[in-house]
Structure 1
């Protein structure tokens, strides 16, 4: 996995994932605060259906907090193990040293992190490292059917971000570990698309029909147009050759393979994840649009920042604050902070949109519409109840109208 991370210039987050696979789960789940702990982890997941991406964001946040001498406070607030975070940090340093010693990474690691912001690419590299830990996903009306080649029907641990999801919009999950109790449970997992599995999974071969590809001895089968199948086979072979050359000659100049790497990045980012290459795969029923996509009753555009501020002010709290950072791909990611809680939004093209997205994440949690708990909780109602005594002495605030 580390080699793929170096080749595809997303080494930093991949080192975090590999280190996380070697230590105890840093996400704590106290029995008496299970719902709060699950909500805290859901903030890091950001509806990405990946425990590994959640770990990356949790570590990055901890690292920033450590620089401000507030690492323990960050862990306490987000139900994280400070000891495990330090262990991950130590392992990352060891990995970096070993990669530099072997020549796979030069002394200036900036070149190895040019695409560390690309979550699609990170998923692909995670798939390369965890395969053949692969599980098929079929969304049913009221449940999710999960199957592995060795165990048949399996389940997900409840502390996984995917374990509490009602639908998983990916045809496959890659995982590292499974545990058998009364049934077989998968621990941390990450959703991946057909393209990711075809290019970063195991060996693929042609089937008996044109456009028919097989993997794992025929257990996994994909059907597509013959020209498309030939393209996947060609890219897969070129990618494997590149990895072999890099292993034999760590100083191999990667600029010679820019077109190949760009084609792979484009494929994994543009795949809509509907599992269209799997025969008989049913399209999942589209979920309700998130609050940020809903329009107001008057026909005006919905503003999540306004609604969040109105809700907090009516509850007797101060206005939320926003911490927005520009990513290396020139997009923006915002974090909204209020009442000791942090909510991270998706990368957006502008600072304004990023802040709205973060506010929408917070509203989903407040309204109990996230998948962070098996029991829906109206956090907004709890927030209002806690500040009821404060509001008795306040003049009512009339902001945007509640629908």
Structure 2
């Protein structure tokens, strides 16, 4: 038994499986004790600057702890640990506690048979900080709604975190809900390690937290994520039941996971409505429907949905303060908001036109030409034929 919370214990097991145990032990130990970063009231700005230097460009409180601990170990070897802590506003007592917990974690994992005497084998991928980031729960919470970052977090002063998701370990409520520590992560990390995922209503539509989080991608890619996640969970179960299991037999699966995690450019491209910066110099253009097409957009949208076997769309229209109207069209669990218009009728037509643009893959929120209509028009019978168990996962993105 590991003397930590279940989610932290899972991190240790994953660290052993993915051969990045050393930094993961530091993160888990750091989350099990007091924050090693001191924030003196009269020198808070200097302390925050020192912590930010450890985080660098990783947007991660957990990476900051890893680097601070590694620096402290190096300073201790040079008999300058006290000066190191004083200069960087670190608690020597907490760092020693982290060091002690790390030893305890290693011996417990060794006794359980999850690691062997060869420390190098356990840390083959420790240099890959994509694998060292904490993987627990996403920043958006159904319980709290909007949350804020704690002032002690390295991400609190960042104008924009270039990641689609933040994960955290602890939250506190004062006049609002604050996240004490956070790390930016990609879609791939969330999909593979963030909890149960299920199929949505369309091919290529994945859901988490009962549909609170949604992802849209090519159908084959969605099948691949489901398959990799299922095989990874099965591997973890087999390893726990048989600690002597040779992980080399699953090297292809582990390599696929590493590739997905390391090569994900953290654009959030699977999140509907999130704009993705194109890597090419060409600028994305948005096609505006012509007058005749816009006039028939409501009828056209209903025809498309009927052919796909879905019910008619519903419209919710609000009158704005400037006496204009904005409409939202809803179908198959998707919402599309139109531009403000002078009348309710025009607002509904504009919302329908926006939905049609997305169905054709012409919406500006995607960097690729994806014909969503072809996905929607696939009959439910053909969808039932596609099963995760029949699919072979691939490490290719497209």
User: If the TM-score is normalised by the length of the shorter chain, which range does it land in?
Assistant: 0.5 to 0.7
CA distance in 2, matches of 1:182, 1:285: 40
User: Which residue of structure 2 lines up, in the alignment, with residue 273 of structure 1?
Assistant: 266
Correspondence for 1:33 among 43, 53, 58: 43
> Which residue matches 1:260?
253
2:100 is matched with which residue: 90, 97, 104?
Answer: 90
Within-5 A mapping of 1:2-401 = 2-123=12-133, 126-127=134-135, 131=136, 133-135=137-139, 147-283=140-276
2:320 alignment partner in structure 1: none
Equivalent residue of 1:40, what SS?
helix
Q: Is the 8 A contact 1:204 1:233 kept in 2?
A: yes
Q: CA RMSD in A?
A: 1.3
Report the Cα offset of residue 134 of structure 1. Answer: 1.2
CA distance in 1, matches of 2:195, 2:277: 26
What SS does the aligned partner of 2:225 have? helix
Distance 1:229 1:285 in 2: 22
Q: Deviations over 1:36-65 (max 9, x none)?
A: 111111110011100000000000000111
Q: Kindly tell me: are residues 153 and 259 of structure 1, through their superposed partners in 2, closer, same or farther at Cα, counting changes over 3 Å?
A: same
Shift of residue 153, structure 1, vs aligned partner = 0.4
Q: 1:285 to 1:82 in 2, by over 3 A?
A: farther
Cα distance in 1 for residues equivalent to 2:41 and 2:150: 15
- 1:118 and 1:175 map into 2 onto residues whose CA distance is 20
**Hey, what's the Cα distance between the residues in 2 that align with 1:58 and 1:190?**
16
Q: Give 1:285 shift.
A: 11
What is the TM-score with the length of structure 2 in the denominator? Answer: 0.66
What is the CA-CA distance between 1:99 and the residue it aligns to? 0.5
Say if 1:51 and 1:161, in contact at 8 Å, map to a contact too. yes
Q: What secondary structure does 2:65 align onto?
A: helix
Q: Distance in 1 between matches of 2:38 and 2:169?
A: 19
- 1:293-322: CA deviations, max 9, x gaps? xxxxxxxxxxxxxxxxxxxxxxxxxxxxxx
**Structure number with bigger Rg:** 2
Give the distance between the partners of 2:74 and 2:277, measured in 1 at CA.
38
Question: Residue by residue, what CA displacement relative to the aligned partner does 1:67-95 show, whole Å, maximum 9, x if unpaired?
Answer: 11111111001000000000000000100
Per-residue CA deviations over 1:94-138 (Å, capped at 9, x if unaligned) read: 001101111111122210100000011112xx21xxx2x311xxx
User: CA separation in 2, counterparts of 1:230 and 1:171?
Assistant: 21
Deviation at 1:175, TM superposition (A): 0.4
* Residue in 1 that maps onto 2:330: none
Unaligned runs of 5+ in 2: 1-10, 280-398
Moved over 3 A (4+): 283-286
Contact 1:41–1:54 (CA under 8 A) maintained in structure 2: yes
Q: Note if contact 1:173-1:190 (Cα within 8 Å) is conserved in structure 2.
A: yes
Q: Deviations over 1:346-397 (max 9, x none)?
A: xxxxxxxxxxxxxxxxxxxxxxxxxxxxxxxxxxxxxxxxxxxxxxxxxxxx
- RCO higher in structure (CA 8 A, sep ≥6): 1
Structure 1 residues without counterparts, runs of 5 or longer? 136-146, 287-403
Contact 1:169/1:284 (8 A) holds in 2: no
3-state SS of 2:66 partner: helix
1:283 CA drift (Å): 3.9
Provide the rounded CA distance (Å) in 2 between the counterparts of 1:284 and 1:178.
Answer: 31
Instruction: State the shift of 1:282 in Å.
Output: 2.8
Aligned length: 269
Post-superposition shift, 1:223? 0.6
TM-score by length of 1: 0.65
